[in-house]
Amino acid sequence: MKPCEGGLRTVPGYSFSSIKAEIRYKDRLDFSLIASDTRCHCAGVFTTNKIFAAPVALCRERIGGPVKGILINATNANACTGDEGLRNARDLTAAVAGELGSEPESILMASTGIIGVQLPADKMRSAIPQLTGALSADNAGLIPLAIMTTDTIPKECAASFTTSRGEFHIAGTAKGAGMIAPNMATLLAFMITDAPVAKRDLDAVFMRCIDKSLNAITIDGDMSTNDSAFLLSPISDSPLSEEGDLEEFEAALRYVTEKLAELIVTDAEGATKLARITVTGAASEEDARLAARAIAESMLVKTAMFGKDPNWGRIACAAGYSGADITEEKLTIRIEDAVLFTKGAPTEKNLEHLMEILGRRSYTIHVDLGIGNGTATYMTSDLSYDYVKINAEYST
């Protein structure tokens, strides 16, 4: 596996378009389409929120069948919009399918933006011929820009990998900067590959990679109504089946999902810090995840990160209430190489060195529970004044 420049454009067999449909605002890209040259298998992971958007309901119905494209809109979530919202999603995807000469069920949809407002369906429907007419591989770079909401940077990455049948590619783009919490992380993510992978293998590999990346990040502990991640792979009579080939595919996909996860947390609303919370020595992997997530979502830990406050007691406290098996006498905490607490006792620390670490843009907090072999890592951001400002003014 090796990283590639060029994002979505590096994967052959797909075309893209983004236009300004004025869904909520004027003069911004807000209506997009990713289309495959051939029918694809699609792996998908969606929010576990019991309040979920119309496009999520639509995709859950269609994800098991052949997929020709994904219709995407920004600035309006089409969530909490009732039967009308679902009808709009069906009508719009059917219109796209008609333009592409495909079955209505072959078009998925993803939306992001404000909750509780109906889509301007007539306006969007009239824009579909322009959207499909603009499809081109050269427009790949527009997709990361068009899906941004409070994001400050477009997010995409790509990798190539070599198999017994030659070289293949994977690329992805994502949006997300707030309302980020696991299961799944609050975002939209779109990944494509030219590698033909059987549906069962695609689903299994995708879920493993998501669990270690997009489901292991948190910004504010809030889960959205629209969280969706997709991976398209062309349907083939001879999919990759060699064990080594599938391992190479998984390594490349893991790189892409982890890189997108890192970009999301780096671009968190108002963030000035990124921290990896790595828990080792847990009784099980599940315990390690419980402890890592509790620390990563602690408001007190996150505000200490923002203030560069070396208050390791907040880390110990969060691990203690996480639900993981934990004993104070076995607990060790360090930030990078600065040991703060060892087997139940505080240690002498070089405050000058510690403050230098806390002033970095990113660092790792290590927590060893000293019990077993379970490990897990979560990524999180700090909580700043700007986060409050952004989210106090979102709908107005």
Transcribe 165-209 into DSSP letters: TEEEEEEEEEE-SSS--SSS-SSEEEEEESS-B-HHHHHHHHHHH
Catalytic residue list: 186
SS3 135: coil
Assigned fold of 2-266: L-amino peptidase D-ALA esterase/amidase (3.60.70)
Backbone angles phi, psi at 26, to 5 degrees: -85, 155
- What letter does residue 67 receive in the DSSP assignment? E
Residue 220 pLDDT class (50, 70, 90 cuts): confident
Query: Rounded distance, CA 43 to CA 232, Å?
Result: 7
State the pLDDT at residue 225.
Answer: 86
pTM: 0.89
| Distances 71 to 18, 178, 219, 236, 331 between C-alpha atoms, Å | 10, 22, 27, 23, 49
158: which 2 tokens?
A: 């790509």
Check whether 177 has a pLDDT greater than 80.
no
Region(s) of the chain under CATH 3.10.20.340: 274-392
Whether domain 274-392 has CATH 2.60.40.10: no
**Spatial distance between the Cα atoms of 222 and 217, rounded to a whole number of angstroms:** 11
pLDDT range class, residue 181, cuts 50, 70, 90: low
**Which pLDDT score, from 0 to 100, does residue 341 have?**
96
pLDDT digits (tens, 9 = 90+) for 117-163: 999 999 999 999 999 999 999 999 999 999 998 888 899 999 999 99
Region 348-357: mean pLDDT is 91
Q: How confident is the model at residue 267 (pLDDT cuts 50, 70, 90)?
A: confident
Show the beta-strand stretches assigned E in the chain. Answer: 2-4, 14-19, 31-46, 67-73, 107-111, 155-163, 166-175, 188-193, 217-218, 228-234, 274-282, 332-335, 338-342, 345-346, 362-368, 374-381
Specify the domain boundaries for CATH 3.60.70.12 within the chain: 2-266
What's the confidence (pLDDT) of residue 236? 97
Token digits of residue 25? 């605002």
pLDDT band of residue 188 (cuts 50, 70, 90) is very high
- Taking CA atoms, 122 is separated from 34, 55, 329, 362, in Å, by 21, 17, 64, 46
